[in-house]
Structure 1
Amino acid sequence: MRTVLNVIWLLLCGIWLAIGYVLAGVVCCILIVTIPFGLASFRIADFTLWPFGRRLVRRPDAGVPSLLGNIIWIIVAGWWLALGHLATAVVLAVTIIGIPLAIANLKLVPVSLVPLGRVIVDSDEVEAARYPTVG
């Protein structure tokens, strides 16, 4: 089911979102000082291509630089991106087929707000870490 949803997502909106984030990442990397933001944009682009079956998890080694970078990110771009994802989710939720896509768009709100100090992992890895098997 994840694959079907990811393909539908990719065709309808994922490719366009990813292209936008990649372009923003390229601009940020050209400006040298904003390379961490460019890398974060590339990470968001990767997540927007294939969001179903993956989650955003806080990195345990993220510290004060990530916090300061996230504050700058929120002021400059994060809240605009989050509003865009929220508006798109509302529009997608109008149809039954669009509801899973709206949920995927809502998954992108946290990463668009605070991308630094986060890593994207498979949902299965998160569940395996949360509920280890005994045996």
Structure 2
Amino acid sequence: MGCLGNILWFIFGGLVQGLAWFLTGCLWCISIVGIPIGLQCFKISKLSFFPFGKEVVYGGGVGSFLLNLIWLLISGIWLAISSALLGVVFCVTVVGIPFGLQCFKLAKLSLLPFGTTIVTYR
């Protein structure tokens, strides 16, 4: 079911969200200081393309907190708003609820991407 969910997700919204994360990562990588943030964006971009069968575990320390604060002020809020709005649109129908839940997972991750680990279930 996860494979089918990922294929449908990629067609109906994952491509747009994954490209948004990828382009954000490219913008962060323009400066040398932003490269660690850009690399994290690329990791989350892979999750945005195919989120089914993956779980996000939150953790981190002081360094993650500082990076999350900088991230939230510059880029995170816009990615979180777009994911949350897309999640609301998906949750209008019963069939779209699993896709909406994935959008809400990505919206939360958009707010706090540093100090997280992505776990794949098989």
What is residue 129 of structure 1 aligned with on the other side?
A: none
Counterpart of 2:65?
67
Deviation (angstroms), 1:121: 0.9
Q: Deviation at 1:30?
A: 1.7
Deviation at 1:15, TM superposition (A): 1.2
- One-letter code aligned to 1:5: G
What is the CA deviation profile of residues 65-116 of structure 1, one whole-angstrom value per residue up to 9, with x for unaligned ones? 1110001111122222212111111111112221111011011122101111
Aligned residues: 122
Q: Does 1:39 align with 2:63?
A: no
Which residue matches 2:90?
A: 92
Deviation at 1:123, TM superposition (A): 3.5
SS where residue 30 of structure 1 aligns? Answer: coil
- The residue identity in structure 2 corresponding to 1:71 is L
Distance, in Å, in 1 between the alignment partners of 2:16 and 2:77 is 19
Does the residue aligned with 2:29 lie in a helix, a strand or coil? helix
Distance 2:121 2:69 in 1: 27
The alpha carbon displacement at 1:63 in A equals: 2.6
Structure 1 stretches of at least 4 aligned residues deviating more than 2 Å after TM superposition: none
Larger Rg: 1
CA distance in 1, matches of 2:3, 2:10: 10
Matched to 2:66, the amino acid is L
Structure 2 residue corresponding to 1:112, chosen from 91, 110, 113 = 110
TM-score of the superposed pair, with normalisation by structure 2: 0.91
Q: So what's the TM-score if we normalise by structure 1?
A: 0.83
The one-letter code of the counterpart of 2:27 is: V
Matching residue of 1:133? none
SS in 2 for 1:3: helix
